[in-house]
Amino acid sequence: LCPPGVLPLCCRLPAWDRAARPPPSPPQPPGLPLAPCRSFSNNKIQVELDESSGVAMMKFKSPPVNSLSLEFLTEFSISLEKLENNRACRGVIITSAVPKIFSSGLDITEMCGKSIEHYTEFWRAVQEMWLRLYGSNMVTVAAVNGSSPAGGCLMALSCDYRIMAENPKFSIGLNEAQLGIVAPFWFKDTFVNVVGHRVAERSLQLGSLHPAPEAHKLGMVDELVPEEKLMEKAAAVMAQWLALPDHARQLTKTMMRKAVLDRLVAHREEDIKNFISFVSKESIQKSLRMYMEMLKKRRS
Amino acid sequence: LCPPGVLPLCCRLPAWDRAARPPPSPPQPPGLPLAPCRSFSNNKIQVELDESSGVAMMKFKSPPVNSLSLEFLTEFSISLEKLENNRACRGVIITSAVPKIFSSGLDITEMCGKSIEHYTEFWRAVQEMWLRLYGSNMVTVAAVNGSSPAGGCLMALSCDYRIMAENPKFSIGLNEAQLGIVAPFWFKDTFVNVVGHRVAERSLQLGSLHPAPEAHKLGMVDELVPEEKLMEKAAAVMAQWLALPDHARQLTKTMMRKAVLDRLVAHREEDIKNFISFVSKESIQKSLRMYMEMLKKRRS
Amino acid sequence: LCPPGVLPLCCRLPAWDRAARPPPSPPQPPGLPLAPCRSFSNNKIQVELDESSGVAMMKFKSPPVNSLSLEFLTEFSISLEKLENNRACRGVIITSAVPKIFSSGLDITEMCGKSIEHYTEFWRAVQEMWLRLYGSNMVTVAAVNGSSPAGGCLMALSCDYRIMAENPKFSIGLNEAQLGIVAPFWFKDTFVNVVGHRVAERSLQLGSLHPAPEAHKLGMVDELVPEEKLMEKAAAVMAQWLALPDHARQLTKTMMRKAVLDRLVAHREEDIKNFISFVSKESIQKSLRMYMEMLKKRRS
């Protein structure tokens, strides 16, 4: 166990000190306050930054189910990095523009019939998304306005705060085991940090998808609100978190999350190799093809 | 901290894949479906396997209190290993055939006036029981139909799910401290994984025996049911867990429990030496003799 | 991760065995049973030992807010050490003699305009206080009869049991982030051991001061009682904990807390250096001076 970046008790810093933040992006032309963000919200994710509040909104708009394709993940990581480097942005709310679904998790088509190079690139993009989101210096709030299985659940769990629409038809969970799948260790670490070892062990083994009220009871989401109040509530929570000086909050967040982040960083290539070795098996490829055909039939 | 057996997110395996299971036992003669299990339920534990459901029942029948003697522990480990190696068996329910008691924990007579060799063999058998049960590839459900102190509590905590008769006269806990005893670190690790650090710290320091309702509130047992519904409920829970593909569930279980299992494996001989050094002390032997005489008087 | 001092399951020790305790202080002159304790309760802390029960009371009496100055911390550590070495003392209740405040936490004047030597001595005293209290062999109960921010909260969290006056005007929390401050890693470790990772992460990032009822709900305090019943309840809880044999309880406590204690011991000098480097910054010194002036104005 490495020394955890020993952090001393210290005193009030010059307010909103940004020393720990990466260097800011170059200044934007006047009169276009939202341009730097809107410019990169091209396909899958709509990004809007309100410079007056310092809060960005990232809306997933990749119908039908916001699945985490290579393109989606790449766009997500780039968008997040741009916001991270933008001094005008201090917090991000992630939510879905697709009705009833937050995100369906990893895109299975990315794992089927592709080259080793593709699998490598895809898995690295999954890791990258998590490393950036779980380790973000910004305040991150998930406004979960639909179901959120597997990788979608991971995205919510990686934020600082989770608000979910109280609709019991919406469910959330790391349900990989239901599909004969095992969640990677860093999915598990993130889950344990939120709900503790026992709840995680049971939920992961059963591959449970918890309806919103149950997810709230288990501590998977912090709050339930009526769907029409979700964005309002997310903004209020964000304002509460932004009332804290950034520097102290960021160092505190790092102190809490560093061990788990470091663990993936240390085993990243091994994790990729394991994924490739698994996904390359003929039996797995066969199962994947069957699963995709089943999905196609269900939709038509 | 060793890399935790990095497990990639993967996809549906051929259903009920048993690749991770040990090689099966040799085929049984036809017409004797229950024979392989019944054959080894000789003295202390009655084992019945329902091959249609894949569920075995292990009933402790070592009156008066199902204490964990060397013979009991050996029989338990052998029975569990046979079930583990039997492809027809996917889950085990452990319960007691003795009224009002699940198990009273370690048998003190095994620690009193015996040779170093005996203490070594006994302690290794205690470790073996836990390593096999906590690390079992099968679904393990404890139907706790009586009181369950110390080692009895450990057995329940080592299962995947705990159902307890709601009788408040039945209590459960790692009450070693009440007897001037210290629970071994791997009892503690198992406990912390179920109830978290704070509840474990308080309960272990006070050597608390929690009545069933309190144990449920603390998360030590997952569910309370009227005693007459216990076995029915255990079967229903087992069916729910068996609805998952074995392979994914097993890998997930390993991911959750490996760190704690590895810790005993790494310190096993040291743990035995510590036990022997402790139990060999004249002051301890004297206390043990007094304690056993007290128990004898109480019973007569 | 070091082997955690493998502790074998063992049996009843000669009652109240003190083998694990440090050698007792020299015998006191007869007829002065309270003298050894009273003799060192000079300035900041009033210490009274009831030799009949084996319970000492430590009352903080350093108005206006029991801030943790170098003098207070030194007196606390010396008092605790004396009690630890006194065979007549088995438990300590810590509480405040100042109305409405338990302790306001670290004394900022100790961090402002002083020499490197002073900062070193001060921070070592903060560490020493925690190492002695969190690692105490005695039963430690906090009777929190007032607000308890930052370092005051740490003292409460370091005890075996926390009872708080149910007055919602009293609050408790590691609110360092509110002041632009980061709690040291060992404050965080202590907090996580009490409330778990998620509650700690959220509370530390928000620098929350939780009113007593909320603190109870989060598990930060074990019990709420009306203020006038606080000392009576503390005595009752203490009696319950003292009903256990000391030796087994002490070894169990060590087993639970050793990992976190060892972590500071291993990184103690590094932790001091980090504190000095932080507090020596001109920007921090400026902030501290402003903060102290604000406090002065508020009081006058």
**C248–B202: do the CB atoms touch at under 8 Å?**
no
pLDDT band at B33 (very low <50, low <70, confident <90, very high): very low
The mean per-residue pLDDT over the stretch B10-17 comes to 27
Q: Catalytic annotation on A261?
A: no
Tens-place pLDDT, residues C202-225: 999 999 999 999 999 999 999 999
Instruction: Report phi then psi at B215, rounded to 5.
Output: -60, -40
Q: Do B181 and C244 touch (CB under 8 A)?
A: no
pLDDT above 70 covers what percent of chain C? 86
Q: For C121-149, write each residue's pLDDT tens digit.
A: 999 999 999 999 999 999 999 999 999 99
Task: Give all chains having 3 or more CB-to-CB distances under 8 Å with chain B.
Answer: A, C
Residues of C in contact with B126 (CB under 8 A): 9
| Total domain count, chain A | 1
Catalytic member of A66, A175, A204, A218: A175
Residue C50 above 80 pLDDT? Answer: yes
Is A11 a residue whose pLDDT tops 70? no
Residue B12 within a domain: no
Span A179-194, pLDDT tens digits: 888 999 999 999 999 9
AA letter at A272:
I
Is residue B16 pLDDT above 70, yes or no? no
The string of pLDDT tens digits covering residues B56-97 is 999 999 999 999 999 999 999 999 999 999 999 999 999 999
- C-alpha torsion sign, points B225, B227, B232, B238: positive
Angle between helices A246-266 and A116-134 (to 10 degrees): 150
Among chain C residues, CA nearest to B112:
C11
What is the average per-residue pLDDT within C235-251?
96
| Contact at CB, A10 and C178, closer than 8 angstroms | no
Residues of chain A contacting residue B252, judged by C-beta atoms under 8 Å apart: 176-177, 182-183, 204-205
Token pair, residue C213, equals: 């009822």
Instruction: Output phi, psi for C50, to 5 deg.
Output: -95, 100
Give tens-digit pLDDT for B241-252: 999 999 999 999
Mean pLDDT value across chain C: 87
Q: Is the dihedral of CA C10, B154, B54, B262 positive or negative?
A: negative
Rounded Cα distance, C39 and A254, in Å: 46
Question: B279 versus B155: which is more confidently predicted?
Answer: B155
- For residues A115 and A117, what is the distance between their CA atoms, to the nearest angstrom? 5
Q: Is there a domain that residue A283 lies in?
A: yes
pLDDT of A278 reads: 86
Q: Which of A26-30, A84-88, C239-243 has the lowest mean pLDDT?
A: A26-30
Angstrom CA distances, C84 to B299, C27, C215, C237, stand at 41, 14, 30, 19
Catalytic site includes residue A151: yes
User: Is B106 designated active site?
Assistant: yes
Residue-wise pLDDT for B81-139, tens only, equals 999 999 999 999 999 999 999 999 999 999 999 999 999 999 999 999 999 999 999 99
Q: Chain A residue with minimal CA distance to C174?
A: A9
Q: Supply the pLDDT for residue B180.
A: 83
- B291 pLDDT more than 90: no
Catalytic residue among A73, A80, A106, A230: A106
Question: Quick one: pLDDT at residue A157?
Answer: 98
Read off the pLDDT of each residue in A74-79 and give the average, rounded to a whole number. Answer: 97
Please indicate, yes or no, if residue C27 is contained in any of the structural domains. Answer: no
Taking a C-beta distance cutoff of 8 angstroms, is the pair C132, C182 a contact?
Answer: no
State whether residue B159 is helix, strand or coil: coil
Position B34 scores a pLDDT of: 39
Q: Average the pLDDT over B265-277 and give the result.
A: 96
Domain assignment present for residue B162? The answer is yes
C128 residue type, one letter: E
pLDDT at A42: 66
- Per-residue pLDDT of A15-49, as tens digits, reads 223 333 333 444 444 433 433 444 455 689 999 99
Record: contact B195-A198, CB cut-off 8 A: yes
Q: How far apart are CA A68 and CA A72, in angstroms?
A: 6
Residues of C within 8 A of B287 (CB-CB) are 11-14
Q: Between β-strands B146-149 and B210-211, what pairing exists: parallel, antiparallel or unpaired?
A: unpaired
Mean pLDDT for the stretch of residues C96-104: 97
Query: Where residue C281 sits, what CATH number does that domain have?
Result: 3.90.226.10
Least confident residue range of A155-159, B39-43, C93-97: B39-43
Residue A288 included in any domain: yes
Residue C15 has pLDDT above 80, yes or no: no
Highest mean pLDDT among A111-115, A280-284, B41-45: A111-115
What are B166-212's pLDDT values in tens digits? 999 999 999 999 888 899 999 999 999 999 999 999 999 999 999 99
- pLDDT band with cut points at 50, 70 and 90 for residue B290: confident
pLDDT above 50: residue C39:
no
Q: Is residue C95 scored above 60 in pLDDT? A: yes
**pLDDT of C35:** 38
Q: What angle do CA A277, A283, A284 make, to 5 degrees?
A: 55
In a domain, B29, yes or no: no
Residue C283's pLDDT is what? 81
pLDDT digits (tens, 9 = 90+) for C162-191: 999 999 999 999 999 988 889 999 999 999
Top pLDDT among A295 and B77 is at B77
- Per-residue pLDDT band for B41 (boundaries 50, 70, 90) equals low
**Sign of CA pseudo-dihedral C131, C137, C138, C142:** positive
> Which of the residues B198, B277, B284 would you substitute to probe the C interface, choosing the one with the greatest number of C C-beta atoms within 10 Å?
B198
Catalytic member of C91, C105, C151, C207? C151
Report the chain A residue with the minimal C-alpha distance to residue C272.
A8
- Calculate mean pLDDT across residues B46-63: 97
Q: pLDDT tens for residues C261-280?
A: 999 999 999 999 999 998 89
What is the reported pLDDT for C41?
Answer: 52
Q: For residue C38, what pLDDT is reported?
A: 43
pLDDT surpasses 50 at C17: no
Of B150, B197, B279, the CB nearest to C193: B197
Going by pLDDT thresholds of 50, 70 and 90, the confidence category of residue A297 is: confident
Amino acid C2: pLDDT? 24
Q: Which of B137, B175, B204, B264 is catalytic?
A: B175
Q: Mutate which of A73, A198, A278, A289 to disrupt the B interface (most B C-beta within 10 Å)?
A: A198
**Is residue A185 within 8 Å of residue A165, measured between CB atoms?**
no
Tokens coding B48: 């019945």
Q: Does some domain include residue C13?
A: no
Nearest to A149 by CA among A86, A218, A66, A85: A66
Pairing relation of β-strands C171-173 and C45-50?
Answer: unpaired
Provide the pLDDT for residue C8: 28
The whole-chain average pLDDT of chain A stands at 87
Query: What's the per-residue H, E or C state across chain A?
Result: CCCCCCCCCCCCCCCCCCCCCCCCCCCCCCCCCCHHHHCCCCCCEEEEEECCCCEEEEEECCCCCCCECHHHHHHHHHHHHHHHCCCCCCEEEEEECCCEECCCCECHHHHCCCCHHHHHHHHHHHHHHHHHHHCCCCEEEEEECEEEEHHHHHHHHCCCEEEEECCCCCEEECCHHHHCCCCCHHHHHHHHHHHCHHHHHHHHHHCCCEEHHHHHHCCCCCEEECHHHHHHHHHHHHHHHHCCCHHHHHHHHHHHHHHHHHHHHHCHHHHHHHHHHHHCCHHHHHHHHHHHHHHHHHHC
The residues in A 205-264 lying below 8 A from B, measured between CB atoms, are 205-207, 263
Is A135 a member of any domain? yes
The pLDDT value given to residue C121:
98
pLDDT digits (tens, 9 = 90+) for A110-125: 999 999 999 999 999 9
pLDDT value at A51 more than 50 = yes
Residues spanned by the domain of B52? 37-298
Contacts of B112 (CB under 8 A, 6+ apart): B285, B288, B289, B292
Query: Under a CB-based contact definition with an 8 Å cutoff, are residues C28 and B289 in contact?
Result: no
Q: Which residue of A has its CA nearest to C290?
A: A12
pLDDT band at C281 (very low <50, low <70, confident <90, very high): confident
The pLDDT value recorded for residue C42 is: 66
Largest distance between two CA atoms of chain C: 61
In tens, the pLDDT along A204-247 reads 999 999 999 999 999 999 999 999 999 999 999 999 999 999 99
C-beta atoms surrounding B39 within 10 Å: 12
Residue A167 to chain C, least CA–CA distance (Å): 24
Burial of C167-186, coded b for 16+ CB within 10 Å and e otherwise, reads beebbbbbbbbbbbbbbbbb
